[in-house]
Amino acid sequence: MSDERTAPEGDLAEPFLLAVLASGGLDAEYVRAEGNTLYRRGEDGEEIPVLDYVGGYGSLMLGHSNPEIIAYAKTLLDQRTPVHAQFSRHPYAGDVAAALNRIIQRERGDDEQYYAIFANSGAEAVEAAMKHAELDRGLRVTELTEEIAGHIDDVREQVAAGAATVPAHVADSIDDLVAEVRTRNEAQSARPPLFLTPEGAFHGKLAGSVQLTHNEGYRLPFKALAAQARFVPRDQPGALRKIIDEERGHLLDLVVEGGRVRVVERDAPLFTAFVLEPVQGEGGIHELSREFTQEVQQVCAEHGIPVVVDEIQSGMGRTGTFLAATHLGLRGDYYTLAKSLGGGIAKAAVTLVRKPLYRGQFELAHSSTFAKDSFSCLIALKVLEIMEADDGEVYRRAAERGERLLAMLRAVRADFPGVVSDVRGRGLMLGLEFHDQSAADAQPLRQVAGSGFFGYFVAGHILRTHRIRVFPTSSAVNTLRFEPSVYLTDGEIDRLEAALRDVCAIIRDTDGQALAPVA
């Protein structure tokens, strides 16, 4: 690629990315979209259909240009529905929150209530959760500090009244002791907060959320900008407790016992939240195990650490239930939703906060011009209505179509065991992982694998040869992900099967020249 400071000629909108896409043959321009199909323009001006398995990174559960959603959007615009009326009554936002509560309560089988904070994108919803949880943590630290200050005053009075003494091995005087306790507590309270998240996590690329994203290439250049996370291994029972023990801190408190002043340790809230995706998406399509999520749930409850369940990619019915967490019996103190909530046309995102944890003052501390606008809320409401229609037909379809697609991927793997290392996922959130080819005998294949863009070159070939759009997960480029809409047909599955078998045969039988960069 060209010098990093000299843009390729022409385009001024992220031209470097365009050059990368071009080298993989992925720089197609799409002019129309419907269902699972994107259309590009051919040389003679004709439309060429491309079967889309990327699905807007999981934003198109209901397909491109869903006719019901489009018709409703047109009505809203024709009626001149005010899109922007910030700082006024927003009944439609309340309706979205109520609908989400109803759906989640039904799925969890309880009556827990959640307040909703609206946002425009996934990362923004994650950051609203991060900020709310940090506001709550800060207030809990203040509450604890005030409680301790009250105890200190109380102990001082008792010492002054001769009702208690400071043992010599503790301190020379109550003044010395209080000064020491205050210094230690101030140092502890000044420690920056920490987030917890599993290895392989992806929660966005804004300044805060990118620190919860495991991929170092995305995260490290911006490390100085925001609070840090400790990444917890997904397959080591006990690892979470160990990390908490390494990092946890205490505030010192004073009590009087049997006429003697004693110093006791109180757990200082240091961890803002544990943030996790029930099925990790961008990190390679990994469903978290029940063992891991139950451990997270239990350990976080013991330490008063809120659990943020990021359902931005896995939620909205994609795995066959509204929340992927339902399969794991995982209960969030917070949930984040985005992507398909916008029905493929709006930028809608929401953060749900469990009522007992909610801090009302957050609403005056946090806002966004575009969040909670009527258009995206009303579209979100229509999306939820479609999902809930016919007793949850959309969820059933996601499960059934997903099973069918998964069976096909497994059949391909069975026939190409030396090429495909794994097939995994749930519902319409599936991944197919290729064996690493960076030590392959054939030089072209080795080169493609060594480029760090293996999946993108595979995607380029599939697009050129089969007119199908697939993408790898960008933090695990040997894994292709498939996130089509619930309207996926058997014929569309057959087409993908033919394309995957072709690619697998190329990798197994030839030197991989067909996957090489486009000149």
Report the residue number whose CB is nearest to ligand F0G: 122
Yes or no: say if 45 and 35 are a contact pair by the CB < 8 Å rule: no
Q: Kindly report the length of the chain.
A: 519
Contacts of residue 6, defined as CB under 8 A and 6 or more positions apart, other chains included, come to none
Yes or no: say if 64 and 483 are a contact pair by the CB < 8 Å rule: no
Per DSSP, 518 falls in state P
The residues facing 228 across adjacent strands are 194
Compute the least distance from the CB of residue 231 to ligand F0G, in Å.
15
Per DSSP, 342 falls in state G
Instruction: Of 111, 153, 149, 117, give the one whose Cα is nearest residue 136.
Output: 117
Cβ nearer to ligand F0G, comparing 101 with 121: 121
Cβ nearer to ligand F0G, comparing 474 with 485: 474
Using CB under 6 A, list all residues that contact ligand F0G.
57, 121-123, 126, 202-204, 277, 281-282, 310, 312-313, 338, 474
Compute the least distance from the CB of residue 316 to ligand F0G, in Å.
12
Instruction: Of 364, 389, 384, give the one whose Cα is nearest residue 93.
Output: 384
Compute the least distance from the CB of residue 280 to ligand F0G, in Å.
8
Gap between the Cα atoms of 348 and 366, Å rounded: 17
Contacts of residue 419, defined as CB under 8 A and 6 or more positions apart, other chains included, come to 434, 435, 504, 507, 508
Gap between the Cα atoms of 455 and 473, Å rounded: 8
Compute the least distance from the CB of residue 38 to ligand F0G, in Å.
17
Compute the least distance from the CB of residue 123 to ligand F0G, in Å.
3
Per DSSP, 334 falls in state E
Compute the least distance from the CB of residue 212 to ligand F0G, in Å.
9
Yes or no: say if 293 and 330 are a contact pair by the CB < 8 Å rule: yes
Cβ nearer to ligand F0G, comparing 251 with 477: 477
Gap between the Cα atoms of 179 and 262, Å rounded: 15
Cβ nearer to ligand F0G, comparing 269 with 320: 320
Compute the least distance from the CB of residue 101 to ligand F0G, in Å.
21
Cβ nearer to ligand F0G, comparing 58 with 269: 58
Cβ nearer to ligand F0G, comparing 185 with 474: 474
Q: Provide the token pair at 182.
A: 């205050």
Angstrom CA distances, 407 to 42, 270, 400, 404, 419, stand at: 34, 45, 11, 5, 17
Gap between the Cα atoms of 469 and 368, Å rounded: 34
Q: By three-state DSSP, how is residue 38 classified? A: strand
Gap between the Cα atoms of 269 and 195, Å rounded: 11
Compute the least distance from the CB of residue 347 to ligand F0G, in Å.
8
Cβ nearer to ligand F0G, comparing 100 with 477: 477
State the distance between the two ends of the chain, measured CA to CA, in whole angstroms.
12
Cβ nearer to ligand F0G, comparing 269 with 431: 431
Cβ nearer to ligand F0G, comparing 277 with 373: 277
Cβ nearer to ligand F0G, comparing 313 with 319: 313
Compute the least distance from the CB of residue 48 to ligand F0G, in Å.
25
Compute the least distance from the CB of residue 214 to ligand F0G, in Å.
12
Compute the least distance from the CB of residue 18 to ligand F0G, in Å.
18
Yes or no: say if 37 and 64 are a contact pair by the CB < 8 Å rule: yes
Cβ nearer to ligand F0G, comparing 375 with 416: 375
Compute the least distance from the CB of residue 376 to ligand F0G, in Å.
13
Cβ nearer to ligand F0G, comparing 123 with 458: 123
Instruction: Of 258, 342, 297, give the one whose Cα is nearest residue 62.
Output: 342
Yes or no: say if 308 and 276 are a contact pair by the CB < 8 Å rule: yes
Cβ nearer to ligand F0G, comparing 208 with 512: 208
Gap between the Cα atoms of 339 and 318, Å rounded: 11
Compute the least distance from the CB of residue 156 to ligand F0G, in Å.
50
Yes or no: say if 282 and 27 are a contact pair by the CB < 8 Å rule: no
Yes or no: say if 209 and 126 are a contact pair by the CB < 8 Å rule: yes
Gap between the Cα atoms of 482 and 455, Å rounded: 13
Distance from chain centroid for Cα 465? 33
